[in-house]
Amino acid sequence: MVADPAARIAALTAQLNEHNYRYYVLAAPTITDEAYDRLLAELRQLEAACPESVLTDSPSLRVGGQPTTDFPTVAHAVPMLSLDNSYSPDDVRDFDRRVCQALGLDSVGYVAELKIDGVALSLHYVDSVLARAVTRGDGLRGDDITANARTIRTVPLRLRQAGWDLEVRGEVFMPRADFARLNQEREEAGEALFANPRNSTAGSLKLQDPRLAARRGLRFAAYWLATDRAVPATHWDRLGLLRELGLPVDPAAERCPDLDAVFAYCARQEAGRDQLAYDIDGVVIKVDRVEHQQALGTTAKSPRHALALKFRARQARTQLLDVTFQVGRTGVITPVAVLAPVALAGTTISRATLHNQDEIERLQLHQGDQVVLEKGGDVIPKVVAVETAGRPDQARPIVFPTQCPACRATLAREADAAATRCENPTCPAQLRRRLEHFASRQAMDIEGLGPAAVEQLVERQLVADVGDLYQLNLEALVALDRLGERSAQNLLDGLAASRQRPFDRVLFALGIRHVGTTVARSLARHFGSLDRLLQADEDALEQAPEIGPTIARSVRDYFATPQADALLAKLRDAGLQLMSELEPTASAPLVASRFAGTTVVLTGALERFSRDEAAAMIESLGGKTAASVSRRTGLVVAGPGAGSKLEKARELGVPVIDEAEFLAWVAAARPE
């Protein structure tokens, strides 16, 4: 044992934090990873022997938080607004013109930064020590995720200068290499893969166990600060101050004296985006002088001093080999294009969603067609066009099926709805998807119940619904292929542990249409137990926060089926948590929602959601939906293939937005 353990602990803490700063902020390490690990091991050994000497900024405390089932809500002192998006140089010129006119100047200086594709986060430091980390949430309030934020190695636990009380905002993101590693691990474990780094970042910040969050490789880049102390008068110099305090900032940021410099910067960054270690989807342009920023003020959702110039979606051409039709857990049939592999935006694409029947008919797809691919938001590959030149006369058109590809039941399509469904409650494909959803991490989090095990359970008819999972025994599981006794016991242990998941997670796990984690939590808080929820009619359901007619009808219809009665009886017998531990709370007004009191019409093919899902979002944000456009319509959301409703909206002068803007409105009013 060293002569003075407390002194050695203090010295090691300071030394390791300095190495973290040099590695993560300056990108100029002065020590090997092996040497760093040796110092950290020594520190942990000393701290274990002398816990009273552990410092609050010890690197060993980055993964010390206890698992949680709740993230307290925190109000932002200054709203976390979203940026207005632009898609062309003309949009930027209009922005510059508005800024100059408002300030009464001929020109202004800007700072251009990369628009990192991540999740916004607010860090609060008290006397230079990290005290709290809060997500953006709805812009007015967010979730306290301090324990998970402490695991991000680019977030300093203590600033490099003493005595600072300040708020820092920035972007949390996942480098591409870490994203690829994470998905490889999930694939090997039989778990569903994440769609993109941004989604996995958002999910990582909400993990209940900080030890899991620590393994995700998240990074943080700061871009804003607020404090009562005197700070520089320009945004550029404030970025420099953030760096001096030990916080990483975008190393590619540049000070641009005029608009020509901004455009040159944007062109360079768009050309080199694939060489970066992380995803970006554009450039953020900010007025440099803070006094000018303050004079420009804000709109209801965006600051007037900043603009995001989104990069053009990248395209590729390839051959359509086939179209498969997948069955989701609610019976929705989704066509998927099988493509000759082609490189696009840093990944190899061999499949792309075709959304629904309307989109196939709009594209008039034939087998063997040459198709144009694009990544929506640089995330989701989609077919945007078909090149008909050279198509053989005998080419076979793609026809949407009339029977379920899994169970051969006749498919149904609701009037004025985009989704086509299999309504057979015993459809094996739906059962597989329901089991996978039930076992997923956000639901019952059943270790060992991956797609391979689910496939065999359904094929061997060992389960007819998720309730039958709790009747499985070791003998039945060991008989499955590639599932030894140890793995079978792990699955049984996972099922036993899932009995303790809270009621809101049980509700979400049921897979009721439109009931995501937020809605499930709202229902659990409002009704308190399954019995009270079962007694509620649609009017009573709509009294719960964030529940509109579409969600209420979906919940009521689900519980009215005989299959639901049988399933709930099994879940009761299995001892699942069917009463809520959440305290009832009144819903906070969504003052940032632009849907409140507005009648919205959805038309065309949406990429991210079905129309029902989009309608549920609108209703949860205080709006309502209608099937046709009239003078009472307040807004039309138009996707590809929009026809007569879009024309009627233009005739009547009804505002029209596309899906990208719809998503921006939702993001401005709902938690990320």
Catalytic machinery residues: 115
End-to-end alpha-carbon separation of the chain, Å? Answer: 48
Dist CA 663 CA 621 (whole Å): 13
Q: How many CA atoms are closer than 13 Å to the CA of 252, on its beta-carbon side? A: 21
SS3 (DSSP) at 626? strand
Question: Can you tell me which residue has the tokens 């803007």?
Answer: 661
Cβ-based neighbours of 38, under 8 Å, separated by 6 or more: none
Which residue carries 């641009």 as its tokens?
256
Q: Any alpha helices (H) in 287-372, and if so which ranges?
A: 290-296, 357-363
* H or E segment and range at residue 309: strand 306-310
Specify whether the CB–CB gap between 590 and 621 falls below 8 A.
yes
Structure tokens at 114: 């990369």
Q: How far is C-alpha 225 from the chain's CA centre? A: 25
Torsion angles phi and psi, residue 127, rounded to 5: 50, 40
Query: What are the contacts of 254-262 at 24+ separation with CB within 8 A?
Result: 254/111, 254/112, 255/109, 255/110, 255/111, 255/288, 256/109, 256/110, 256/111, 256/112, 256/285, 257/109, 258/107, 258/109, 259/92, 259/93, 259/96, 259/107, 259/110, 261/110, 261/112, 262/92, 262/110, 262/112
The tokens 């980390």 sit on which residue? 133
Phi and psi at residue 309, to the nearest 5°: -95, 110
